[in-house]
Amino acid sequence: MLGVFVNSASAGPNIHFTDYRVLLTEKQSTKNYQIFNQGDTDAYCYTNLVDHNVSPEGQLTVATKDNLPATSAQSLLRISPKRVLIPAKSNQKVRVLARRLVQQKSGEWVSYLNLRCREQTDNATAGIKIQPNFVFNIPVVVRKGSLKSKQPFNKPISATLTSVILPRQY
């Protein structure tokens, strides 16, 4: 008989955020992004920037340096630190910075803050250890200037139309 015992005292890291996206503009080109560890053990996290390509069928694939999307913000962004130790019941800031924004034309670019976290453990123990990695992709939007958008109103399909839903403005 095989039994599995879980020690609740070492439940592991429990990562949370207050913001689920980062918006950087000419007026606010830096964001101190807060990462919270509400767990009982320290979390070791790596930060990185990633982009995704979308196929005609809607499949997402991670973009490589050779095939970045035209709207990638990677060349405009800097993240520090690259490695973060977040103590149990504590928080840590990661700085996200948009650079060279003055030289850009008006537009909007998006990349993702890729945050990979795992429990900080002592590697001296022998044997096989299975450890979960928690991966988060937080959108980082870089916007310069006012984006012009136009939505024409066509003839309603039904005479019972009572409300109009407009896209959310950020």
Residue 80 maps to which CATH number? Answer: 2.60.40.10
Residues 8-57 have pLDDT tens digits of: 444 678 888 888 999 999 999 999 999 999 988 899 999 999 999 888 89
Beta strands in the chain (DSSP E): 15-17, 22-24, 30-37, 43-50, 52-54, 60-62, 77-80, 83-86, 90-98, 107-119, 133-144
Domain count, the chain: 1
Residues 113-159 have pLDDT tens digits of: 999 998 877 666 667 777 778 889 999 999 998 777 777 777 666 55
Within-domain flag for 158: no
* pTM of the full structure: 0.74
Within-domain flag for 117: yes
The number of angstroms, rounded, from the C-alpha of 148 to the middle of its chain's C-alpha atoms is 26
Within-domain flag for 156: no
3-state secondary structure of 128: coil
Within-domain flag for 150: no
Residues 65-82 have pLDDT tens digits of: 888 999 999 999 999 999
Please give the Cα distance from 24 to 103 (Å, whole number): 15
Within-domain flag for 24: yes
Range of the domain at 116: 9-123+132-144
